[in-house]
Structure 1
Amino acid sequence: MQTTPHPRRTLSALFTAALVAALLSLSWAGGSPARAAAGDGSVSDPNIAYVGRWDTSSGTAAVPHWSGAYLQTAFTGTTVKVRARDAVNFYASVDGGPDVFHAGVRGTVNLTPQPLSPGTHTLRISYRSGDTVFQGLVLDSGARTVAPAVPSGLVEFVGDSITTGALTDRLALDSYAWKTGERLGMRHTRIARAGYCLVAQSGCTGLSGQYFRTGSTGDQNWDFSRYGASAVVINLGTNDIGHGVSGPAFQAAYTKFLSDVRARHPEAQLFAVQTLKKRYVAETRAAVSARNSAGDAKVTYVDTTGWLTDGTDYEDGNGHPNEAGHTKFAGRLAPVIAARLGTATEASAQAAAPGQPGDPSIKFVGRWDTRSSSTLYTPYWAGAYYRVGFTGRTVKLKQRGTIDFWARIDDGPVRFYDDVKGTVDLTPTALAAGNHTLQVNYQVVAGSYRGDAVFQGLALDSGATTFAPPAPAKLIEFVGDSITVGTTSSQNARTAYGWLIGERLGAEHTQVAQGGACLVATADGCVGLEQQFGRLNPNSPTPNWDFSRYQANAVVINLGTNDVGHGVSSTQFQSAYSSLLRKVRAAYPRAWIFALETFRGRYVPQTEAAVKAAVDGGDTRLSFVDTTGWLGSGDLTDSVHPNDQGHRVIADRLAPIIAARIGG
């Protein structure tokens, strides 16, 4: 029998529902949202961590303020989408992968056009420009968010356009502030805006006052109880001089600003950075001394003299670093901060965990991305590998997704693991007790890794640890295309001439090579290594590789086989080859460079001419290598690619030439 609700009860229920809805829409003082049910992906979902100064007071739209604010969460299922109110530009990283740029998108934006494998995944979103409003996530049916693993430490960067990463390709993501935070394994915020000063004067907004506001404009006070900083890095003064701020006025404002920041972050280490253009140096030092004299021992002056090089590390003449300059800046600043924080940083804790990413006993050889994530290390280019020593009787490799790889324990045989994932047991038969070594490299196909080539760490026996095995003193880098990759040989990179020569000469070895690559980047899509040589990733224009990570003793270039099929003229080729030689020399000032004649004899006069021009210009550590007659028909799998025998023939001929120059 159908019943009719009592009118009074209906009104009461409606009133109660309205009251509950109203209470849910209320927020804490300072803009923190009321908590929604964990896992629903809404703006108020407590499993979403907002880093930076976000206004989440509406409960339905989260608005980031200042530059480079981001959010993090984890989720189950195989897909994730984000709701955007209107056209917006943002970066999204799934499972610690590259930050993918989504330009001018709106509505419900699919961040996983290629569904993920079932399981738990991570997500980070950073807004760049446009209608920067986060309206929640859309997950698979039955999926939910999961509280992400976020570092406990946070470093805040206070500055102007230099701190925002102005003029770089990715702005905040290319800034020294972002890079330093990532390198330290800490959460990071930027309270910075282009053109801002320390002192408010002559129309210049002064961060000595605006720092304490929620946004870069407006007068709403920020609620400092929302987060506490472990460190605050101040880089101000570049713009004040153009607005007539006197030395005494700057010093007084800086001293007071340090005092005011200390009041908001009582336990933080404060760093006053000398501006790159060396403005108000004496006044900044004096402000730090004044605070130290007042009993604040946690204030440090940072001398940046010599950190960056004019003409190399800047985008312009106004002090804006390029992406390489920001990387260098971060490389110098991060250790300064870590030293003051001691073992409190996430990076230090990570480094202390045997077998995990960040363990200093693990030697990553080649171009690995060890900075985008503290828990996921990703190799790029061909033939990257890692080596580590370990104690105990067993070792397992933690793999995020399906991948093919080779592993070698001690001096035993190399074992191939086909389409494996999860925790892969590398010692189904336990080893003898004692010290052992492990080397792992992932399979490449035409220079790209087949499957999910992501290192997540090792699982060791209870009580076991890692140690650094003996490491070769020299490194050889091989630059080329599919021939250098080892395409069509039995084990790709492992059976390519570069790997064979490195092993024969007792040297570390890298293969900066990709199948189908040219020397010259062409309009029809051929990847040009003259352009990409300086990149972390062969298929991305950013970020640049940090050449301070290792220095090559020798560089072997084998390029030109593919250019002829893409219409590259002889003049273009010679010019690009000369440019590549200059870039290699700038990256490796002491390396011996070997320019190989391609095995098909293409662009030989142009290669020789580029080498001769460089030698005539004063580069005496450079050789042209004539490869005429090295390979016969029995050494090839087709008309181009050497087979295993062919790669051994190349190694037999080339290894003595390299050894004659660098030893081994």
Structure 2
Amino acid sequence: MHTSPHRSARALAAALTAVLVACLLSLTVVGRAHAAPGDGSVSDPNIAYVGRWDTASGTTAVANWTGAYVQTSFTGTTVKVRARDAVNLYASVDGGPDVFHAGVRGTVNLTPQPLPPGTHTLRITYRSGDTVFQGLVLDPGARTVAPNAPTGLIEFVGDSITAGALTDRLALDSYAWKTGERLGMRHTQVARAGYCLVGRSGCTGLSTQFFRTASTGGADWDFSRYRASAVVINLGTNDIGHGVSGAAFQSAYTAFLRDIRAKYPNAVLFAVQTLKKRYVPETRAAVTARVNAGDGRVRYVDTTGWLSDGADYEDGNGHPNEAGHTKFANRLAPVIGSALSGTAVPSAKAAAPGQPGDPNIKFVGRWDTTGSATAYTPYWAGAYYRVGFTGRTVQLKQRGTIDFWARIDDGPVKFYDDVKGTVNLTPAPLSSGRHTLQVNYQVVAGSYRGDAVFQGLVLDSGATTFAPPAPGKLIEFVGDSITVGTTTSQNARTAYGWLIGERLGTEHTQIAQGGACLVATADGCVGLERQFGKLNPNAATPDWNPSRYRADAVVINLGTNDVGHGVSSTEFQSAYASLLRKVRAAYPQAWIFALETFRGRYVPQTEAAVRAAVAGGDARLSFVDTTGWLGSGDLTDSVHPNDRGHRAIADRLAPIIAARIGA
């Protein structure tokens, strides 16, 4: 058959069109599978999924287990979430309270009151119902931004107690959620009411189900999706009601620890004594077996005395109420934090009670805990440690001569002048029972005078340590001799930073040194814009690891000394902007307060640096006008506040900080 040239051309054109359409369709499919960053869809890489989520479809993300959440940042003034069907969820914007949205579906407005323009943060947690995330709806032209999420993650494994059963907000009220929040880490609860360690007679065993994607079903979880820094196991409460023998429990627990280790080679594993003290010898024996097998990153956690019968429980079956969960978290968080921060000796043999490396000793501030297992050194001003101990006496081992302050059981603070060796802190023995100790070394102008090296405690025969209750928030004060407390009666202890931390019930540390500037100068002024990120104010290395603790607030009071070292206004403003960026990178969720210096130096430049950062999307930042805070009677000289002056500063500044961080 003869085919005309025109018909051949039309056929060729049709074929080319078909190929083009196919290519376009292919591109469209690829576009759906790989969402553009910032569009708010389920596949948007700027949306972080914490916990065990099924995101395989690309259009829906299904939350498995309890306490899973999504996290992102976004621009614009409003944000909505798409829900497939009726669901109960909590949403927190800009680190604010978790607002409950009950029985919502469709497109849910999370910002009925529009936000100020800028970059905001969002976290969504599902409680019950159709726990399916279908993406976000943003303002026209707005986009998501990769969240400043911490790298560390804690996985809590347990039953109804770990899930927060019987509390008002369930997972959000549980000790697991509270512990993760307090440590500033990501967290997830692989927990469900009624579950056991050992699968037996209708009770699901987490020794098997832990390795699955969901609390029911047999699909394996892909452990490459995230790596836990710590795994906290609280199991055994329910096993006894299902006839699990001690031998079977111990064997299963030992194998469970071994199998978790295979999935998380570097995580610290914590085996928690159940609140009802079930299978205690067996749990301890499982930990011992793993340690003897060479696993030096397993810890047994003794919870004796953590909660009070009656007042801390919802019922008679061992379920804590909200206050009980808070107490639990207050005890557990320091144990985990110490082990993860490097204060615990990473060996198969745990440090003896009271010695450097004892996880029950909480070191606050920038301490060097890496150079020696027998001596820990603090840097910067206002560092301290806190520990609980039993027995009637306690002594402090000091390598060389030093001045320090010690306080026992919230009693009076006692000053020890030029002491060394083994220093008796209880010349009059205490009553028998549990006690607390806090020690901080004396600084002069921000430098420690003498040998500020902790070498451990001497306790009574048979006595031990315990992790005392500790505040859930921390404030970092950055400055010079004024922030150090120079010329006050007790130096760092009577400085406004220490006073504010104590008043607000927070941890506190003074990243400050006498004579320091913001800008490092050629004539030798230490520049905190450069040294803020260092372990030691007087050394270029090593860098400080900000994951050792997470500040909830950072207060900057710098500029008093720069004038005397020839720092120009332009240099100062540029350096201040740089310091704000460094602080934000270290503490993504902290509120930063930039104080006007009390002598009114570089005020326009400080304000300008703050305005520029806010305009750039940092919404958690404030300039603090200190005009009129101090009178002539509040100063020791023309620069340094006296005790009364520091109290006056604390009176003005503490409410400002508290209003932002909820302390």
What is the deviation of 1:358?
3.4
The answer to whether structure 1 residue 15 and structure 2 residue 214 are counterparts is: no
In 2, the alpha carbon distance for the partners of 1:142 and 1:408 equals 36
- Classify 1:191/1:411 alpha carbon distance in 2 versus 1 (closer, same or farther; 3 Å): same
Q: Aligned-pair RMSD on alpha carbons? A: 4.2
Partner of 1:359: 476
> 1:230 & 1:440 partners in 2: Cα distance?
40
Q: Deviations over 1:32-71 (max 9, x none)?
A: xx54210000000000011000001111111110000001
Match of 2:269 in 1: 270
* 1:13 Cα deviation after fit: 2.5
Q: Which residue of 1 aligns with 2:93?
A: 94
**Counterpart among 613, 619, 623 of residue 424 in structure 1:** 623
Task: Report what 2:435 is aligned to.
Answer: none
Residues 130 and 441 of structure 1: CA distance in aligned 2, closer, same or farther (over 3 Å): farther
What is the CA-CA distance between 1:107 and the residue it aligns to? 0.9
Q: Which residue of 2 aligns with 1:65?
A: 64
Residue equivalent to 2:156: 157
Structure 1: distance between partners of 2:555 and 2:226: 39
Give the whole-Å Cα distance in 2 for the aligned partners of 1:143 and 1:354.
42
Whole-angstrom CA distance in 1 between matches of 2:113 and 2:658: 13
Q: How does 1:254-265 map to 2 (within 5 A)?
A: 254-265=253-264
Tell me which residue corresponds to 1:138. Answer: 137
Distance change (3 Å), C-alpha of 1:78 and 1:98? same
Following the alignment from structure 1 to structure 2, what is the Cα–Cα distance between the partners of residues 114 and 327?
A: 31
1:284-317 superposed Cα distances (whole Å, 9 cap, x missing partner): 0000000000000100100000000001100000
1:389-446 deviation digits (Å, cap 9, x = unpaired): 878548999999xx9x99897699xx9xx9x9855264799x97778954474899xx
Question: Aligned residue for 1:309?
Answer: 308
| CA 1:198–1:322: 2 relative to 1, 3 Å | same
What residue is the counterpart of 2:660 in the other structure?
Answer: 454
The CA deviation at 1:14 is 2.4
Give SS of 1:18's match.
helix
**Equivalent pair of 2:504/2:654 in contact (CA under 8 Å):** no
Whole-Å separation in 1 of the counterparts to 2:70 and 2:24:
31
Does the 8 A contact of 1:364 with 1:387 survive in 2? Answer: no
Q: So what's the TM-score if we normalise by structure 1?
A: 0.57
- The 1:238–1:24 alpha-carbon spacing in structure 2 relative to 1, beyond 3 Å, is farther
Amino acid at match of 2:114: P
Deviation at 1:165, TM superposition (A): 0.5
Q: 1:189 to 1:88 in 2, by over 3 A?
A: same
Q: Is the 8 A contact 1:251 1:283 kept in 2?
A: yes
Letter of the 2:23 partner, please give it: T
Task: Write out per-residue CA displacement over residues 538-579 of structure 1, whole angstroms, 9 at most, x where no aligned residue.
Answer: xxxxxxx9xxxxxxxxxxxxxxxxxxxxxxxxxxxxxxxxxx
How far the C-alpha of 1:103 sits from its partner, in A, is 0.6
Task: Find the aligned partners of 2:38 and 2:116 in 1 and give their Cα distance.
Answer: 19
Task: Give the distance between the partners of 2:126 and 2:106, measured in 1 at CA.
Answer: 15
User: In 2, are the aligned partners of 1:393 and 1:434 still within 8 Å (CA)?
Assistant: no
Amino acid in structure 1 at the alignment position of 2:27 = V
Q: Encode CA deviations 1:442-501: one digit per residue, 9 max, x unaligned.
A: 899xxxx9x99426xxxxxxxxxxxxxxxxxxxxxxxxxxxxxxxxxxxxxxxxxxxxxx
Contact 2:80 2:107 in 1 (8 A): yes
Q: Is the 8 A contact 1:91 1:125 kept in 2?
A: yes
Q: What is the letter of the counterpart of residue 214 of structure 1?
A: T
Change (3 A) 1:299 1:22: same
Partners of 1:178 and 1:16 lie apart in 2 by 48
Q: Distance in 2 between matches of 1:86 and 1:225?
A: 30
5+ residue gaps, structure 2, are: 1-9, 345-361, 367-378, 382-472, 478-496, 509-548, 563-571, 615-620, 629-636
2:252 equivalent in structure 1: 253
| Aligned twin of 2:240 | 241
SS at match of 1:109: strand
Distance 2:248 2:48 in 1: 39
CA deviation after TM superposition for structure 1 residue 11, in Å: 1.7
1:281-292 equivalences in 2 (<5 Å): 281-292=280-291
Which residue identity is paired with 2:174?
S
Provide the C-alpha distance between the structure 2 equivalents of 1:169 and 1:367, rounded to a whole number of angstroms: 26
> Is contact 2:596-2:624 (8 Å) kept?
no
- 2:307–2:328 contact (8 Å) kept in structure 1: yes
The letter of the residue matching 2:310 is: G
Q: How far, CA to CA, are the matches of 1:248 and 1:354 in structure 2?
A: 51
Kindly tell me the number of residue pairs found equivalent between the two proteins: 423
Give the aligned partner of residue 319 of structure 2. 320
**Alignment partners' CA distance in 2, 1:212 and 1:158:** 11
Report if the CA contact (8 A) 1:350-1:374 is conserved. no
Structure 2 contact 560–599 (Cα < 8 Å) conserved: no
**Is 1:210 aligned with 2:217?**
no
* Contact 1:41 1:138 (C-alpha < 8 Å) held by counterparts: yes
> Which residue does 1:45 correspond to in 2?
44
- Whether the aligned pair in 2 keeps the contact of 1:84 and 1:134 (CA below 8 Å) is yes
Code of the residue aligned with 1:359 in structure 2: it is: E
Q: CA deviation at 1:17?
A: 2.9
Query: Structure 1 residue 221 and structure 2 residue 220: aligned?
Result: yes
For 1:82 and 1:236, the matched residues in 2 are separated by 35
- 1:128 equivalenced with 2:327 (yes/no): no
The offset of 1:148, in angstroms, is: 0.6
Structure 1 residues 207 and 102, CA gap change in structure 2 (3 angstroms): same
Amino acid corresponding to residue 328 of structure 1 in structure 2: K
**Following the alignment from structure 1 to structure 2, what is the Cα–Cα distance between the partners of residues 116 and 249?**
56
1:102 is aligned with what amino acid? H
Counterpart amino acid of residue 76 in structure 1: T
| 1:110 correspondence with 2:113 | no
**Aligned mates of 2:336, 2:594 — CA distance in 1:** 38
Cα shift at 1:16: 1.7
**Equivalence for 1:642:** none
Partner of 1:192: 191
Contact 2:80 2:137 (C-alpha < 8 Å) held by counterparts: yes
Deviations 1:335-380 (A, max 9, x none): 11111112599xx999659999632756346668999x95656xxx
Amino acid at match of 1:9: L
TM-aligned CA distance change 1:342 to 1:375, over 3 Å = closer
SS of equivalent residue, structure 1 residue 454: helix
What is the DSSP-based 3-state SS (H/G/I as helix, E as strand, rest coil) of the residue aligned with 1:359?
A: strand
For residues 280 and 13 of structure 2, the distance between their equivalents in structure 1, rounded to whole angstroms, comes to: 77
